[in-house]
Amino acid sequence: MGISLTRAAQWTMVSSSTAKLASTPMNESLLKEILHFVEHFSSQHPQEAEHVFEEPLQWSTTLVPSDFKTDYDISDSDVQSHERDSEGHPLLQLSPPTVYVRSFSQLSKLLHLADDKKLAEVRACLEGKFESNLHPKQSNHQHSSITHRLNVFVLLVTVYSHPIIQVRLNPKAVKNEVEILQMFCGGGDKGLLKSLRYTSDFQFSNGYRAPLWRQVQGDICYLVIEPCDTETLYITCSTAGSFLNGGEENGYERTSDAYEDLVTLLKSRSPHFADKINQVEVLIVCLIKKAEVALVYFRKTSAGALPGELFSESSTESEEEEEQPYRHPETNTDLPSEYWQIQKLVKYLKDGDQIVTVDTLCAMMDFNLMQESCQMAIQDTGGLKVLLNLLDTDEHKCKIGSLKILRTISHNSQIRRVIVDMKGVQSIVKILDSPVKELKALAAETIANVAKFRRARRNVRLYGGINKLVSLLDCLPNFASLTPSQEEDIEVACCGALALWSCSRSTKNKKAIRKAGGIPLLGRLLKSPLQKMLIPVVGTLQECASEESYRNDIQTLGMIKDLVRNLSSDNDELQMHCASAIFKCAEDKQTRDLVRKYKGLQPLVSLLHKADNKQLLAAATGAIWKCSISQENVTKFQEYKALEILVNLLTDQPEEVLVNVVGALGEFAQIPANKAAIREFGGIKPLVKLLTSPNQALLVNVTKAVGACATNKDNMVIIDQLDGIRLVWSLLKTPSADVQSSAAWALCACIENAEDAGETARSLIGGFQLIVKLLSSTNNEVLASICAAICKIAKDEENLAILTDFGVVPSLAKLTNTTHDRLRHHLADAIAQCCMWGSNRASFGEAGAVAPLVRNLKSKEGSVQRSTAMALYQLSRNPNNCITMHEKEVVQPLIHMMGSDDEELQEAAAGCVRSIRLLYMANRNAELFTFRN
């Protein structure tokens, strides 16, 4: 379908620099096809859809900022998606009328928002330009870029709508491959091939082109290919593979080995072809080998013919192992002697019977298989394929030997990839069913190594590996006296746990493990005294504890006790995984209490002494942070002198540790005595210094801790000396909403407790504008914190005057329609405070703030009621506001509030009613007065 679509697209050249898709029925259906594909791409290929393009797709859209809803940061002038790439750039950006889109998932979301304008958007997207400042505009460039963009879509459509996973070739696969290759024929030396054509234009209805009597033998079609550098090749594509034939006159007889696809065949025949393909540096993460080839071709040509590159697909999970491009065998110079020996052994493996195979495998094991040169030698000489083939035989000795080698060489990431490419995962997973325990254990161990990257993990799941691995865990929990067979079971379970540990890095696998009933089994193994068992088990649990369901199970199945027990193990790695599991689980209050109950707090503190092991330190400080959310735990931690140690960890630690240490200090500082203690241990200075860190997670915690410390006057003096207010204030400029709100809260504490805070605030150039500007944020938490900050800042009259000049009143008034209770509370406070200046009361009334506030009075939240009543009291000093309030029936709820136990609320409500009443009286008097005259 691909090429036919590309050819079908009918272009109208409007001018030299723009091209348009002509409005023909053909193009319409083509657009629909692409639209349909893009819309469903992210649901069908969620992982691929997340890949970030190197260059954005860019076009003039008809969408306007108001079309965007949640998930986007919307301001007057532009829209940015919340979703960002690793460098923090938004994946979608709209600065009308141009839109930049950098992933398929964003593209599909955008199309969803476009609603009935979908088709127009797809059209505009295809017609859109490449980044024009990257290359001078040239008419033919422009056109070719458009064609290529279309090509990419079409290729993706082709590749993804027809998953070509099959062992035997079929006409469709051949046709796809031929079409893709044809796209890159010609063009002199730049092309991959000079030409490629079928010998026959006639195609049978089954897709075959070979004559019927040859079809019986599996021949699909015959090709004549002119490579750029060698003589013309005559090729037969048959269901058994592609091979050279002797040409028509020789009756298509086979004259070469069969290859699994055309590309491999051509690579072996045409150095030019192989070279062009091999030059390609970037491999695109794609399921299917053929798809890989297709997209790689595209990248190659786009790099050569086009200045801009459209796609760069990279793995989205940062901890994910990158898929590296294949390393190509070097030329025959300088190969180590092992290479030749291994090559010889591989030959014996291929040619030998069962006995020779086993002997050869054993001989191969004598090489240092952890050494890369040996690993690559096995791969380059075709040994890997033989090893994988052995797994499908019936000879269990051969399988054992092969797995023993595979489990070692799979420490190499390229080997892992090739194993997955050669469908090795399927074979290995199958062995998990074997009755031979040694085989099961070896297979699981190999999976543990192979499943280090996402595609492998997905393969394990897709071929039913998770269920099988989970069932390996089922061994007797009676660890005291074991029969040899039970010991073997335990060995198998260990390997199973190792494999699950690797697999559990993928979210879907976590779910699959749970579904297969893995959690209770893991819980049972957690009681094991064996470290080699505990490490993978706890490793899996802590990996999975990122899922809430696991956290619940870990708690309810009583695993916290075992985790706490192993905190005191003598193995650093085990301690680390236990601490890290507790770190993840202790978000939950009951878990925190359980950790205390099982006396886990002291071992956590003692882990802080292992300052050399940074991973362990990060896990331990994380667990302490989360546990200290419960005040009872903080008290316990005090007994173990945790605070002093934590303060000492504020300097010279990696960020993973700092985030947790500072988080813990933020919790500790909730207790007043600790605020002073932090100062006494010298913690204030390093904390303030961390305010300049670029790490957002760290900044959230630092601002929280600084804010908590600032409520102590003596601390505040130091913070002020260190210019802390300015530092916190400037954090309002960071793009992250979490940091913004956390900084604003800290600012509240600082301003409230600093001497001359008003003066300091005024000295910050641009500070007030920043605050007022943030009132247009879309994040409620940010708005609430900024309102709170405004309330504190406005306590200083001069500051309030400046804020008023910057238009704080209409900005606040605009927010009154919110339904977010926390925001309502602080907003009302801010309004009440801002009423204290000039004609602000009247301005609030004019801006329409009064009516929504009356409505907010009905909120069930006490704090909202109270603040709102006070704001209304302030506003009621303006007669017009009183009229509005009265119209909105404010009196009844106010009278109700006058009966409250809260004196301030009573007073505010009464004051407000009094204002209304006074106005009424004045009015009546005036009327009477007028009447009398």
Partner 1 sequence: MSKISAVNKRATQTLAENISKQVEHFSKKEVECLIREFNVLVAEQNNSGRAVHGLDRGKFISTLHSIFGLTDDRMTGRVFRTFDKDNDSVVSMKEWIEGLSVFLRGTLDEKIKYCFTVYDLNGDNAISREEMLHMLKGRLIRQPNEEDPDEGIKDLVEIILKKMDYDHDGKLSFEDFEKTVKDENLLLEAFGTCLPDFRRIEMFEGHVFQEQFEQ
Interface positions with partner 1 (CB under 8 A) = 344-345, 347-348, 351-356, 358-363, 365-366, 397, 400-401, 436
Q: How far is the CB of 397 from partner 1 (least distance, A)?
A: 6
Residue listed under structure tokens 């009424």: 920
The dihedral sign for the CA sequence 191, 196, 201, 206? negative
Report cis status (omega within 30 of 0) of the bond before 97: yes
**Cβ-based nearer residue to partner 1, 120 or 362:** 362
Residues 174, 260: Cα–Cα separation, whole Å: 11
Give least dist CB 419 to partner 1, A: 21
Nearer to partner 1, 71 or 257 (CB): 257
Which stretch of DSSP H or E encloses residue 195?
strand 193-198
Tell me the C-alpha to C-alpha distance, in Å, between residue 727 and each of 699, 723, 749, 786, 790: 11, 7, 14, 16, 17
* Residue 604, token pair as written in the block: 């956590």
Q: How far is the CB of 437 from partner 1 (least distance, A)?
A: 11
Residues whose CB is less than 8 angstroms from the CB of residue 88 and which lie 6 or more positions away in sequence, other chains included: 735
Backbone angles phi, psi at 538, to 5 degrees: -65, -35
| Nearest residue (CB) to partner 1, 365 versus 921 | 365
* Residue 244, strand partner residues: 235
Comparison of 82 and 437: residue with beta carbon closer to partner 1: 437
Select 385 or 689, whichever has its Cβ closest to partner 1: 385
| Minimal distance, residue 400 CB to partner 1, in Å | 6
Cα separation, 477 vs 562, in Å, equals 14
Name the minimum Å distance from CB 241 to partner 1. 21
H helical segments located in 128-240: 139-161, 171-183, 212-215
Minimum distance of partner 1 from residue 362's CB (angstroms): 5
Least distance (Å) between residue 426 CB and partner 1 = 23
Please state the closest distance from residue 234 (CB atom) to partner 1, in A. 25
Closer of 83 and 359 to partner 1 (Cβ): 359
**DSSP letter for each residue of 584-623:** HHTTSHHHHHHHHHTT-HHHHHHHTT-TT-HHHHHHHHHH
- Give CA–CA dist 140/142, Å, rounded: 5
CB closer to partner 1, 142 vs 402: 402
**C-beta separation of 446 from 403 below 8 A:** yes
Instruction: Output the smallest distance, CB 396 to partner 1, in A.
Output: 8
Identify which of residues 347 and 773 has a Cβ nearer to partner 1 in the complex: 347
Closest distance of CB 231 from partner 1, Å = 25
Specify the amino acid at residue 387.
Answer: L
Buried b (16+ CB within 10 A) or exposed e, 465-489: bbbbbbbbbebeeeeeeeeeeeebb
CB of 380 to partner 1, least distance (A): 20
- Shortest Å, Cβ 546 to partner 1: 41
Give the single-character DSSP code of 254.
Answer: B
Q: How many CA atoms lie within 13 A of 627 on its CB side?
A: 35
Kindly tell me which of 13 and 370 has the beta carbon lying closer to partner 1: 370
What are the start-end ranges of the H helices in 437-506? 437-450, 454-462, 465-472, 484-503
Q: Cα(399)–Cα(402) distance, rounded to whole angstroms?
A: 5
Instruction: Give least dist CB 352 to partner 1, A.
Output: 5
Phi-psi region of 859 (alpha: psi -120 to 50; beta: other; left: phi over 0): beta
Q: CA 411: distance to chain centroid? A: 26
Pick between residue 349 and residue 871 the one whose CB is nearest to partner 1.
Answer: 349
Choose between 248 and 351: whose C-beta lies nearer to partner 1: 351
Q: Which residues, at least 6 apart from 64, have a Cβ–Cβ distance to it below 8 Å? A: 96
Task: Name the DSSP class of 245.
Answer: B
| Minimum distance from residue 611 beta carbon to partner 1 (Å) | 42
CA-CA distances (angstroms) from residue 54 to 35, 280, 310, 526, 690? 22, 16, 6, 45, 33
Strands (E), 63-128: 72-74, 79-81, 92-95, 98-103
- C-beta pairs of 897-903 under 8 Å, 24+ apart in sequence: 897/857, 897/865, 897/869, 902/862, 902/866
**Which CB, 359 or 572, lies closer to partner 1?**
359
- Shortest CB 398 distance to partner 1, Å: 9
Q: Sign of the CA dihedral 508, 510, 511, 513?
A: positive
The minimum distance between CB 399 and partner 1, in angstroms, equals 10
Minimum Å distance from CB 358 to partner 1? Answer: 5
Q: Which lies closer to partner 1 via its Cβ, residue 165 or residue 365?
A: 365
CB of 386 to partner 1, least distance (A): 13
Residue 314: other Cβ atoms inside 10 A: 17
Tokens of 245: 């034939």
d(CA 4, CA 7): 5
Phi first, then psi: what are they for 740, rounded to 5°? -55, -50
**Owner of token pair 């008034």:** 813
Structure tokens that stand for 816 in this block = 């009154």
> Do residues 135 and 141 touch, judged by C-beta distance below 8 A?
yes
Contact 19/143 with Cβ under 8 angstroms? yes
Closer Cβ to partner 1, 345 or 386, answer by number: 345
For partner 1, give the closer residue by CB, 358 or 850.
358
